[in-house]
Amino acid sequence: MKEEPLIFEKSVPGRTGATIPTCDVPEQPIRDLLPGVQLREALPLPELSELDVVRHYTRLSHRNYAIDLGFYPLGSCTMKYNPKAHEAIARLPGLTRLHPMQDVAQVQGALALIYAVEGALAEIAGLEAATIQPAAGAHGELLSMMMIRAHYQSHGMERTVVLIPDSAHGTNPASAARCGFTVRSLPTDSRGLTDMQALKAGLSEQTAALMLTNPNTLGLFESEVLEICRLVHEAGGLVYCDGANMNAIVGKARPGDMGFDVMHFNLHKTFSTPHGGGGPGCGAIAVGKTLAPYLPMPRVTRLSTGSYDWIRVGDHSVGRIHTFYGAFLVAVRAYAYLRTLGFEGLREVAETAVLNANYVRARLASHYHIPYPERCMHEVVLSTSKQRSKNGVKALDISKRLMDYGFHPPTNYFPLIVPEAMMIEPTETESKETLDAFCDAMIAIAEEAETDPELVKNAPHSTVVGRLDETAAVKQLDVRWRNVGDTVPTDS
C-alpha cells in the first residue's frame, strides 16, 4: 500500500480552498487585549485546494479500522456494533436543537426521557436511583467514591481504606486515591477470583469500601459475591461495583441483589453509544438507599401533576459533577436501545455475549494457554506464554500478525496478573462466521509461531507503516510538524 504524504508536503504556495473576507475587527484592540507572545504574524498552515483536502482525508479515512469494517475484539472495552437507527434518533432536530437553559415547560419531553433512562438503569441495577451526569466510566467511579466519602463524613466517621482486587481496572485505584482514600490491593486466588482469606484479613474498622468488578477482568463471575458483600457490610464498609463488564449479566442478574451499594454503567459499552474517538460517553451510576441522598444535583423529578422539573438543591448532595445535566444525546441512544430490546432482548444480549466468548475459548484452548480454564463470561483471557518460552513469540507479536489477517488486535498485557495476556471480547453482535474467521487466524498464527517465528516477530507485513517503537512514541511524544532542518522548539 502506497504511503500517503503529509498534508504539509502537498502544500503549494498561494493555493487556497476558501475565500475569506477581509477582517473588519480593528487590529489594535486585539493587540491590547492579548499578550504579544500569544500573537503570530503568520500562520504556516498548508496551502491546498478544497478538492486536495477532501481527497487527502478521504484516503486517510479508508485506512482507519472501524467497527463498521471489521471485528474489534478488545477485551474489557466492548467494542460492539450499535444500531444505526439509534444514531438517527439522536440526530432528530427536536433533540439536537434543544438548549440546556431552556425553560422546563419547553423541554418536558427531554426531562421525561432522562427520568425514564435513570429509572430503567436503577431497575436494571436493582438499586434505588441513578444519574446520567458522569461523562465516562472513570468519572462514574470518581463520583461513587465521592459519595462514599460524603456518607462517612456526614456521619462523623473516619474510614480511610479502600480494598481493590489486583485484577481491577486501573482507574479504580486512581478514583479512590483521588478522593483521599488509602488503596490496599487484594490478591487473586488460584481460581481467578477474589481471595477470600485476604479479604477477611484486610477488613477493619478503617475499611471504607471494596471496589469489585463483577464479572471480573479475567472474565469470571465472582461466585462468592454474596459472601463478599456480607463481610464488607459487617465490617461497616460499602461495596462498589465496577459495571464495565455489564454486557455479561445485563437482564440476567442485578448488582443490587448481590449486595452492592453503588455501581457505574458505561452507556458506551452496554447501551448503544459508539465507543472511542474521544467521546461523548456516559458513566451513569446507580445507588442504593444509603447513598441516594448524596447524588449530584440537579436531578429530574416527576411532579404529582405528571409534569417534570429539576431538583436543584440537596442537603447532602456532593454537588454538580458535569456541566448542565450530562451527555443528553447519549441518554437518547440508551433510551432507544432499551425500548428496542426490552428486558427479553437485554437477557439475550448477555446470553449471546457469554456464548460467543466461550465459543472462542473452546476453539483456542488447545493452541494457547488458558490460565483460568473455567467457563468464562463475556470475555476470555488467554496467555501466549507457551509461544514465548518456546520460540520467543510474544503476545504483541501475535497481535501485530493479526493485522496481516485483517483483524484488529485484542487487548494485550491486561490483566497484569496474567503473563503475556491477550484479552478477547467477541461481544454479542458478532456472527459465528466472524468468530470462526478470527479463531482460524489465531490458530494459523500459533502454527506460524512454531514453524516460522521470525515471520510473526516482524509483523505486520501488509500495513503502510510496519513495526513502530511504541515505547519511544509514548516517552518522546512529538506530534508537531516541522520542515527538515527546523529547530525543535523549546517552549513548554
Q: Is residue 313 domain-shared with residue 409, that is, in the same domain?
A: no
Q: Say how many domains are in the chain.
A: 2
3-state secondary structure 231-294: HHHHCCCEEEEEECCHHHCCCCCCHHHHCCCEEEECHHHHCCCCCCCCCCCCCCEEECCCCHHH
Residue whose C-alpha is closest to residue 96's, from 299, 329, 287: 329
Q: How far is CA 186 from CA 189, 360, 443, in A?
A: 10, 29, 35
pLDDT tens digits along 304-313: 999 999 998 8
Q: Is residue 171 domain-shared with residue 93, that is, in the same domain?
A: yes
For residue 246, pLDDT over 70 is answered with yes
> Does 8 fall in a domain?
no
> Does 329 fall in a domain?
yes
pLDDT tens digits along 66-117: 899 999 999 988 999 999 999 999 999 999 999 999 999 999 999 999 999 9
pLDDT attached to residue 277: 62
For residue 341, pLDDT over 60 is answered with yes
Query: What is the percent of the chain with per-residue pLDDT over 90, rounded to a whole number?
Result: 78
> Does 230 fall in a domain?
yes
pLDDT attached to residue 30: 73
The band of 484, judged by pLDDT with boundaries at 50, 70 and 90, is: low
| CATH code, domain carrying 393 | 3.90.1150.10
Q: For residue 186, what are the β-bridge partners?
A: 165
In whole angstroms, give the CA distance from residue 371 to residue 144: 32
For residue 274, pLDDT over 90 is answered with no
Q: Is residue 127 domain-shared with residue 254, that is, in the same domain?
A: yes
Residue owning grid cell 503476545: 395
Q: Is residue 382 domain-shared with residue 280, that is, in the same domain?
A: no
Q: Which three cell numbers stand for residue 473?
A: 512514541
Q: Is residue 243 domain-shared with residue 388, that is, in the same domain?
A: no
Contacts of 131 (CB under 8 A, 6+ apart): 118, 143, 284, 285, 295, 296, 299, 326
For residue 24, pLDDT over 70 is answered with yes
Lowest mean pLDDT among 148-162, 264-278, 282-296, 431-445: 264-278
| CATH code, domain carrying 244 | 3.40.640.10
Name the DSSP letter for residue 104. Answer: G
In whole angstroms, give the CA distance from residue 167 to residue 211: 11
Q: What is the dihedral of CA 365, 368, 374, 379, to 10 degrees?
A: -100
Boundaries of domain holding 310: 85-340
Q: What is the mean pLDDT of residues 130-134?
A: 96
The band of 492, judged by pLDDT with boundaries at 50, 70 and 90, is: very low
For residue 460, pLDDT over 70 is answered with yes
Q: What is the mean pLDDT of residues 213-223?
A: 96
pLDDT attached to residue 18: 85
Query: What is the percent of the chain with per-residue pLDDT over 70, rounded to a whole number?
Result: 97
Q: What is the mean pLDDT of residues 357-374?
A: 97
pLDDT attached to residue 41: 77
Lowest mean pLDDT among 8-12, 180-184, 362-366, 422-426: 8-12
Q: Is residue 317 domain-shared with residue 361, that is, in the same domain?
A: no
Q: What is the mean pLDDT of residues 465-487?
A: 80
| Average pLDDT across the chain, whole number | 93
pLDDT tens digits along 148-186: 999 999 999 999 999 999 988 889 999 999 999 999 999
pLDDT attached to residue 276: 66
Q: Which residue has the higher pLDDT, 258 or 464?
A: 258
pLDDT tens digits along 400-416: 999 999 999 999 999 99
Q: Is residue 280 domain-shared with residue 396, that is, in the same domain?
A: no
